[in-house]
Amino acid sequence: MSQLIWNGLFVGSFYALVALGYSMVYGIIKLLNFAHGDIYMLGAFTGFAVLTLGGGLVSSLGFLALLVVLVVAMLATGVFGLVLEQVAYRPLRNAPRLSVLITAVGASFAIEYGMRLVAGPNPQVYPVRLGGQAVEVLGARLTLQQVGLVVIAVVLMAGLQWLVMGTSTGRAMRAISMDPKASLYMGINVNKVISRTFFLGSALAGAAGVMAGAYYGKIDFLMGFIIGLKAFTAAVIGGIGNIKGAMLGGLALGMLESFGTAWLGGQWRDVFAFGFLILFLTVRPTGILGERVTERV
C-alpha cells in the first residue's frame, strides 16, 4: 500500500506541473491549449540537447547538472510558450472558440512533427539517468533522486501559488480571470499578463519534461501527446481554471493510475484513469475544487 501511494505521488507530481499550465491559461482566457503537452516534450528535448553538449562535465556533476539544465529548459520553453501565444493565439483572441481550438490542435501537430524532423523518429536515450540505491521508508522503496524530483515539483508549485496569491502579477491574473474588460479599464496591461501566464505555464511543463526524461531515461517526439491528455484530465478532475485544483487533480490521477495498475494490470492503467474521469464528471461536472459559473449575458 505504501509503495502504491508513493508511486502515485511521484507520477502525479509530473501531471500536476503540466496541468497547471492548462488551468492557468483556461482560467484567464478560456482557451484549451492542446499544444501544452508538446511543450513538455520540447522541455525534455531541450534538456537532452544541453546535456549532450555538456558531455563529460554532465557525468561528473550528476544531479547538480540536471538542476542547471532544468533552469535552461524552463527558460527555453517559457519563451516558446510566449511566442506561441503571440503568433497563434493572440490574433484569434476575439474569434469563435472553435477556431481557436482547431488552431491549438494544429499547433500541437506542428510542434510534434517539427521535432520529428529535427531529432528523428526514433526514441532518444537521456544522457543522465536518475537511478540510485533504493531505501525503504514506511514500507515503500524509494531513492533520493525520486525524493529530489518530488521536492523540486513541490517547490515549483508552491512558488507558483505564492506568485498568483501574493504578487501584483498574480492579482492581475486573478482580475483578468474574473473580468478582462473591466481589468483593461482599470489600467491592467491584459496582453502582457496573458503572455506572462503562457510563459509560466510553459516553463513548468518544460521542467516536468526534463524531470521525466531524466527519470524514465527515454524521450521521443510523441511523448507529449498522452501526458497532455492526462494533464488535461487532471486539470478537469481538480476543477479547470483553479490552481490548487490542478495540483490536487494531478496527484489524484497519479494515485488512480498507481492503484489501477496494481489491481487491473499495467495495460488497463489508461482505461482505468479515463474511465474514472467519465464517471467522476457525471457526479461533479465542475471538478473537485471547481465552482459553477453563471455566464454573463
The pLDDT tens digits for 107-139 are 999 999 999 999 888 998 887 766 666 677 767
* Cα 81 to Cα 202: distance, rounded to the nearest angstrom: 5
d(CA 188, CA 185): 7
Specify the DSSP class assigned to residue 89: I
Give residue 268's pLDDT: 78
> What was the pLDDT predicted at 294?
44
- CA-CA distance, 77 to 288, in Å (whole number)? 29
So what's the pLDDT on residue 116?
A: 93
pTM for the whole thing? 0.86
Q: Is the dihedral of CA 50, 106, 164, 239 positive or negative?
A: negative
Whole-angstrom Cα distance, residue 230 to residue 252?
Answer: 11
Alpha helices (H) in 221-292, listed in sequence order: 223-238, 243-264, 269-283
Average pLDDT, the chain: 83
Q: Which residue bears the cell 534538456? A: 47
Convert the pLDDT of each residue in 174-206 to its tens digit: 888 888 888 888 888 988 999 999 999 999 999
Determine the straight-line distance between the first and last CA of the chain, rounded to whole angstroms. Answer: 50
Q: For the chain, which domains are there? A: 2-283 (1.10.3470)
- As averages over each run of 10 residues, the pLDDT of the chain (297 residues) reads 80 86 84 89 91 68 75 93 91 85 91 92 81 69 77 88 87 86 87 90 90 85 88 85 85 84 75 81 80 47
Q: How many CA atoms lie within 13 A of 77 on its CB side?
A: 33
Cell 556533476 maps to which residue? Answer: 61
